[in-house]
Structure 1
């Protein structure tokens, strides 16, 4: 490291040089991070020559390194065996690293804040390879790039510590506050761009409430305006924006790859070119031992477009704060893909997620589920995924709007609970509505069978049978929806069992319509035919009473009263009574068929027709019993 005395003597009475030194040191920090990434990527390429690795050209250009020969380092790396690797241009890389370290040390020495940095650097530089040497041991590369403090000191760890010191000095040296950004060494044109960026930051900053983060610094580094935002509390979560001419380069580091991709999605309407993310290993001082780096570039059409982009960029940062924690907590209620979609909606609509979790987050939802006795199934299975997403979008908006306008926390929490209870009731209503619609198709089918028997016209019977097949297809779609999209949590099998039982009734009626087309046109079994019409009429009334059962059950579920319960009990009892009546009518019909059928064909057609109609009423009776048991079970809760 450059001797302290000569530097202090040179800088002792020229404090105005310190900001330039800090600037240069931070620029050197960006370059040295590129060199570390280059060495790590080259080593990975040597170990896995069959895989594809980036040349890191974009990262080199972003860091301000001009040596184009380094773009071939990754592809030229080789595993020499015995833990030794060939790294092309290693001598140039290490010379550049040494120069960067010296540049980073200058402002620290000038302020007398070197701590033990010079001693650590001296020890770490011992045993460096001779000039021109490209064969490097794994142990030596670890001394350079390791981020794990448990494994001993490394150049990477020293750079991390020095960078923290430099950031602290940068804040102290700030000469001007521009709308909350600490700035220094700006040129006149830079201030407009910083204000544009801060306009976005300040527009959405209230959505972080009391959460720390969004600290911004800005400075001029040669031809570039550099803006840095600390986002939140995570050490490895940093956003650096480089502006040169009409081009904006975004360098985003994060320990969570999903959040990195989420951030990129916030620019879907802007033509940002994102490079493939790079993963880097660090030490235990971070939440995770690996962090990811993403670089994006945007070239503005003109200066107003540049300002607009910077404003948009600044306004998106708040939505990264505690994003991963929010995603994990929402996963208690939604699939991961839907969680990310909800958080994306919250960012696009500028409501965010922090307000909801400040209010208690998932505890509010669990309280509402306990009130409704709906704790057996994930919420997205109770409501269906689309409605569950719609509910959480409303929740995030309500929470943010409520806290921003000063509503009491308890009021907002109660609104969220009440709305969920409404959704749960709505889910019941929707599912019952599907079952009622399905029953309406059963009624149509029963009427069609009865009409075919009354008309005694083969063509009419064929047309009726065709209609019933169409209705049966529509009914199958309703059954599918009830089975797979929405299930009631307190009794997940109830609606599926209900519609399955009633759907069997429709299957029997479809079969009956087929047999009605087989009645011989010259059939003389008048008594049997009359008895068949009686069986069909009972089935028609049975299906109508079953629909009344479902409608009255819905009213009982909304709110119990003696009158509503009486209506339900009368309707369900009527279904059961009509099933018995149909059974008696079937016996009488069979006797008539046996007396009047002239041949086996006529007997088979009439018998199967009568039995199919009777079976439909048995299925409706079973469905009515399921509904009856569910109502009484719910009253116990």
Structure 2
């Protein structure tokens, strides 16, 4: 004897309702699958060159594995504007049966607390049951497909007109798809009201003893991150046992097309997931894959009126556990990830106002991995919170319309947004006022701007090029490169490339200065530094000429010029050091930092002063040792350009001194 019949014989009619609801939810899955099969068959008939979709995982999950179901997607044939579908009668019969099963708990409530459907809804169900029962024929028109599957409420009555066959009886603007969604909502409400037990927050009924720890594991994961949704609706969980499997359904949010159903059988977890947004689907795939899920190839679905007529995705993920302990761990882990789906797409779009698409996805992925989430940021003001913080920094930091990554760089902007999301979550969980969160966001951005200092990145890159030029010259003169024409020519070519890179940095600084006034001082400084780069590139060119005209050169001439180049290199190195220190200087900097900056700055000055003396010594040596006119001229010009490079480096050091003293809050 079936359990339901035994319960009825004892007079406990109310206990029949959980079983009815369980059957109704299974019928809901079959109804949606049948409509999907119908859409797939029509699409395949209209576009026979396309590959038929593989719906076998969905059919197996729904328990609908009849031969006509498996053959349906590829069995349609186009006949004019209609599609000939031999299995249409079986499909209509299945729709009628499952609609009756789905509506039964709502049409015949046997629980004292369950109210029946309103009269108009009961008539609506009756009309659809009647028209499905009276349906005959094997032809499907676009009008019939629309009447069965559209999701647009208030559809125009024009769909009833024309010569194509449609179902008569239901309201012209209604559809079977809309009815199924509405019944599903009512079933969820009914299920929540009849649960015989609340297990760690989950509504459960007819649960096997061995399934209780599994539901508790799922709820542990859900409760671990549940607070990250704040007051957003969603995450209600229902669970029941059916035969030898556990069924868990979670209400992710408020969207009808966003569904998550979990089946646990033996040591295997199977999750069915559908989503309107491809990017969010991929995000959830990655989240569960990190926990060991194996995903089937997601299938694209089309449903008129759903997702604005665009495709949505349906896929299954499976976890295979080695033992019960691992199974419980997997249930807890996947449940903890569900909260990050709520308002995910809204957060992604808001983040893309400040960074690119890829960076926005990385922020959401890392926020989920750190169990920080994005809802705190949205609740604290989202994009308006950040726009206000950027505006508070003034025109010196951000121009109107400038994105965050254009100022901080992609990596810097990504790191800042992660910090901001964590800050908002922690502050709202501590019930801080939003005005206080806004103040903290401004301070966080100010610290990030000070640490990032893109203008110093540009200066440091230019100074590094100057150091490379000086180092190459010093090495060339120390190793008698002037006697090797091929090596000297290679040095000149390499120096020219470095000098062009330095010019590009100057142009970038000038462009920034046109848009942001705070860059003016940095543009002027890099121009002074670029004079040194020009002089050093000219030196490399002169070395290549000297390699072709080095008559009369001897050890004394080479040593005098090599010594001069060595001290120019020292000046370039001190300038690089001074820039590295100046980047972090502020009024709150330690005295040792200020002292280190002064020492590096004076190192440039001392090097320039030494170059003045070495230039005079080199001139005496050149005049005394060289008699060939070309060699004399080239050696003298090389010495002059080396000393000029030291002068330019000193000018850049003075400009840096003014910037650094300004950051430290003192007058230069």
1:378-417 → structure 2 map (5 Å cutoff): 378-405=403-430, 412-417=437-442
Query: What is the rounded CA distance, in whole Å, between the counterparts of 2:48 and 2:662 in structure 1?
Result: 65
Question: CA 1:202–1:543 in 2, change beyond 3 Å: closer, same or farther?
Answer: closer
Query: What is the rounded CA distance, in whole Å, between the counterparts of 1:610 and 1:34 in structure 2?
Result: 85
State the match for 2:237 in structure 1: 216
Query: What is the rounded CA distance, in whole Å, between the counterparts of 2:208 and 2:585 in structure 1?
Result: 73
Question: CA 1:58–1:545 in 2, change beyond 3 Å: closer, same or farther?
Answer: closer
Q: Shift of residue 435 of structure 1?
A: 2.9
Question: CA 1:215–1:624 in 2, change beyond 3 Å: closer, same or farther?
Answer: same
State the match for 1:5 in structure 2: none
Of 488-497 and 441-450, the range deviating more from structure 2: 488-497
State the match for 1:316 in structure 2: 337
State the match for 1:160 in structure 2: 181
Match of 1:181 among 202, 213, 225: 202
State the match for 1:297 in structure 2: 318
Query: What is the rounded CA distance, in whole Å, between the counterparts of 1:10 and 1:137 in structure 2?
Result: 48
For residues 17-63 of structure 1, the C-alpha deviation after alignment (integer angstroms, 9 at most, x for no partner) is 22211211111111000001111122222222222231311111111
Match of 2:272 among 217, 237, 251: 251
Whether the aligned pair in 2 keeps the contact of 1:439 and 1:502 (CA below 8 Å) is no
Match of 1:508 among 538, 551, 558: 538
State the match for 2:100 in structure 1: 102
Q: Shift of residue 186 of structure 1?
A: 1.7
For residues 306-331 of structure 1, the C-alpha deviation after alignment (integer angstroms, 9 at most, x for no partner) is 22211112111111111111112221
Unmatched 5+ stretches in structure 2? 1-7, 110-115, 156-172
State the match for 1:420 in structure 2: 445
Question: CA 1:329–1:117 in 2, change beyond 3 Å: closer, same or farther?
Answer: same
Whether the aligned pair in 1 keeps the contact of 2:389 and 2:438 (CA below 8 Å) is no
Unmatched 5+ stretches in structure 1? 1-8
State the match for 1:85 in structure 2: 83
Q: Shift of residue 452 of structure 1?
A: 6.8
SS at match of 2:117: coil
Match of 1:143 among 136, 142, 147: 147
Instruction: Give the aligned length.
Output: 611
State the match for 1:4 in structure 2: none
Of 367-376 and 538-547, the range deviating more from structure 2: 538-547
Question: CA 1:286–1:119 in 2, change beyond 3 Å: closer, same or farther?
Answer: farther
For residues 606-636 of structure 1, the C-alpha deviation after alignment (integer angstroms, 9 at most, x for no partner) is 587478658857976997899799899999x
Query: What is the rounded CA distance, in whole Å, between the counterparts of 2:574 and 2:218 in structure 1?
Result: 67
State the match for 1:307 in structure 2: 328
Q: Shift of residue 65 of structure 1?
A: 0.5
1:14-93 → structure 2 map (5 Å cutoff): 14-82=13-81, 84-93=82-91
CA RMSD across the alignment: 5.0
Whether the aligned pair in 2 keeps the contact of 1:501 and 1:622 (CA below 8 Å) is no
For residues 390-410 of structure 1, the C-alpha deviation after alignment (integer angstroms, 9 at most, x for no partner) is 222222233333444556655
State the match for 1:120 in structure 2: 124
State the match for 1:239 in structure 2: 260
Query: What is the rounded CA distance, in whole Å, between the counterparts of 1:555 and 1:316 in structure 2?
Result: 39
1:226-375 → structure 2 map (5 Å cutoff): 226-282=247-303, 291-373=312-394, 374-375=397-398
Query: What is the rounded CA distance, in whole Å, between the counterparts of 2:96 and 2:340 in structure 1?
Result: 38
Q: Shift of residue 244 of structure 1?
A: 2.6
Q: Shift of residue 471 of structure 1?
A: 8.3
**TM-score between both structures, scaled by the size of structure 2:** 0.75
Query: What is the rounded CA distance, in whole Å, between the counterparts of 1:605 and 1:501 in structure 2?
Result: 20
Whether the aligned pair in 1 keeps the contact of 2:376 and 2:424 (CA below 8 Å) is yes
State the match for 1:517 in structure 2: 547
Q: Shift of residue 182 of structure 1?
A: 0.8
Query: What is the rounded CA distance, in whole Å, between the counterparts of 2:20 and 2:72 in structure 1?
Result: 30
Query: What is the rounded CA distance, in whole Å, between the counterparts of 1:293 and 1:31 in structure 2?
Result: 14
Whether the aligned pair in 2 keeps the contact of 1:508 and 1:613 (CA below 8 Å) is no
Does residue 228 of structure 2 align to residue 204 of structure 1? no
**TM-score between both structures, scaled by the size of structure 1:** 0.79
Whether the aligned pair in 1 keeps the contact of 2:491 and 2:540 (CA below 8 Å) is no
Q: Shift of residue 287 of structure 1?
A: 8.0
SS at match of 2:231: coil
Query: What is the rounded CA distance, in whole Å, between the counterparts of 1:557 and 1:626 in structure 2?
Result: 17
Of 284-293 and 263-272, the range deviating more from structure 2: 284-293
SS at match of 2:249: strand
For residues 258-302 of structure 1, the C-alpha deviation after alignment (integer angstroms, 9 at most, x for no partner) is 111111111123342323333444566878875432222223222
Q: Shift of residue 188 of structure 1?
A: 1.9
Q: Shift of residue 133 of structure 1?
A: 3.6
Q: Shift of residue 90 of structure 1?
A: 1.6
Question: CA 1:253–1:500 in 2, change beyond 3 Å: closer, same or farther?
Answer: farther
Q: Shift of residue 358 of structure 1?
A: 2.5
Whether the aligned pair in 2 keeps the contact of 1:78 and 1:85 (CA below 8 Å) is yes
Query: What is the rounded CA distance, in whole Å, between the counterparts of 2:253 and 2:91 in structure 1?
Result: 33
Whether the aligned pair in 1 keeps the contact of 2:302 and 2:312 (CA below 8 Å) is yes
For residues 69-104 of structure 1, the C-alpha deviation after alignment (integer angstroms, 9 at most, x for no partner) is 42222223232222x012342221111111101111
Query: What is the rounded CA distance, in whole Å, between the counterparts of 2:51 and 2:652 in structure 1?
Result: 61
Whether the aligned pair in 1 keeps the contact of 2:92 and 2:135 (CA below 8 Å) is no
Query: What is the rounded CA distance, in whole Å, between the counterparts of 2:192 and 2:584 in structure 1?
Result: 66
Query: What is the rounded CA distance, in whole Å, between the counterparts of 1:529 and 1:477 in structure 2?
Result: 29
Whether the aligned pair in 1 keeps the contact of 2:291 and 2:333 (CA below 8 Å) is no
For residues 484-512 of structure 1, the C-alpha deviation after alignment (integer angstroms, 9 at most, x for no partner) is 99989846796696576664444333323
Query: What is the rounded CA distance, in whole Å, between the counterparts of 1:482 and 1:217 in structure 2?
Result: 64
Query: What is the rounded CA distance, in whole Å, between the counterparts of 2:386 and 2:124 in structure 1?
Result: 53
SS at match of 1:65: coil
Query: What is the rounded CA distance, in whole Å, between the counterparts of 1:361 and 1:475 in structure 2?
Result: 44
For residues 187-216 of structure 1, the C-alpha deviation after alignment (integer angstroms, 9 at most, x for no partner) is 222222211111111111122222222111
